[in-house]
Amino acid sequence: MVRATLRAAHVSVFGLDVGTSGVKGLALDADGGVVAAADAGYSFATPRPGWSEQDPEDWWRAAEAVLARLQAAAGPPEGVGLSGQMHGLVALDSHDRALRPAIIWNDQRTAAECAEIEATLGLERLAALTGNRALTSFTAPKLLWLRHHEPDVYARIAHIALPKDYVRLRLCGEHATDVNDASGTLLLDVAERRWSEEMLDALAFEPDWLPRLLESPHVSGHTAAGVPVAAGAGDQAAGALGVGVDGAGGNGIVSVVLGTSGVVFAALDRYAPDPHVRVQTFCHAIPNTWHAMGVMLSAAGSLRWLQAILGADYDTLTAEATTWAPGAEGLTFLPYLAGERTPHDDPDARGAYAGLSLRHDRGALVRALLEGVAFGLRDSLDLIAALGRVGETPTLGRVSGGGARSDEWLRIVASVLELPLERVAVQDAAAFGAALLGGVAGGVWPDVPAAVAATVRPGETIEPVSDWIEPYRAARERFRALYPALRACR
């Protein structure tokens, strides 16, 4: 027992999250305590409207810097786990050099290629195979775009990699990925957790381009110092582990993310995709489990947009929002500032305020925005709950993301979702979840559920406000009627 206690005190595992704006890293001990944290930033380029690209070497330089800082503070790790932005395309030549900047998840250039994929496979077959429809964020449409528009680059492809997997390649020299991140390529047979020969044949892509496929906690390779590196997971699945959504015991817990985008995420014990593909179905980061996920594109991003226009700090704005009753006297905000994914799958959807009156002030604009984001999250929750595959009806939301710092916003979201929301001790959920996967790969914990049980610490619970529930039910009906009305006006 003494030896085990001493070992636990000295164990460290590292998790890296290769995000859109930078790499975040955490070093954890065996009880989930944060021993060290580090981050390093970078930018992305928009060479044309709707395009988003990054230099893969920026990810590696940032990851190197973060790893060095973590090791200086915490010592050498038992294992390293990787998480990151999903869907990005890194095209590599035969010497593992990037042929062009990576086309990342928020790039919108591939609408024609998405239509081509759905016409080639048929939407029903595509959804059955991949759990999804063709979305502009996914990887396969980007490959088709290269074939159509940069044939010289396309002809030189020897390998493709996802963003975190490029970091793995530089870290341990391995072409590998995990089934969760691979689910976002549109090239995975999600039910069978293997690359889809049918998709590759239909789109005429070379199977040799694809990396070796692993379950998330499995060892993908080793660093030069011999440290095992877990296969890892995409940011949402790793983040779900980081807040304890592992599906253990069918506990009815869902992950609710109030980041730049908004996500409702539920673990599933079997593959059964939404037949209408309004929510995404991926392999989860735990072997033999899956997840359903609804995504709205502008959650905290909507508040950041309004804050920049109004020129006041967030605390001031949310304080002014508290002076308005639920529903803000009929003022409704649609948070579709960058199009919308769930439930409309409409890149041309746009945001709107409706119901403005002379009485409405700055606080009312903020209140309606906070409520509009909450209604968008409720759309995702209702679709996931209707699938009937969450183990049981959702009973608790574990919340993360920058918006989770606002008590008022969480009271609104809890009341709209009609679910209690629970914070966790660590807000960098994706890096935390990646560290858990690294710890399983390094033998610190026997499996992912054991890692989650040993480390995830629930914090404060925010309950729905009972007097707000009925007003929000009525306001939600106004919200849902607004999108089709505005779409008819295009």
Active site residues: 235
CA distances from 87 to 233, 281, 412 (A): 12, 14, 32
Cα–Cα distance between 164 and 428 in angstroms, integer?
Answer: 16
Cα–Cα distance between 181 and 163 in angstroms, integer?
Answer: 10
Q: Which of 88, 102, 100 is nearest to 53 (CA)?
A: 102
Cα–Cα distance between 32 and 432 in angstroms, integer?
Answer: 8
DSSP-derived secondary structure letter, 346: B
The CA dihedral of 472, 477, 483, 484, to the nearest 10 degrees, is 180
Q: Please answer whether residues 408 and 318 qualify as being in contact, where contact means their C-beta atoms are separated by less than 8 angstroms.
A: yes
Cα–Cα distance between 228 and 331 in angstroms, integer?
Answer: 54
In this structure, the number of other CB atoms found within 10 A of the CB of residue 170 comes to 16
Where would I find the H helices in 75-185? 111-121, 123-130, 139-149, 151-155, 163-172, 179-183
CA distances from 111 to 27, 108, 136, 140, 459 (A): 40, 7, 6, 12, 42
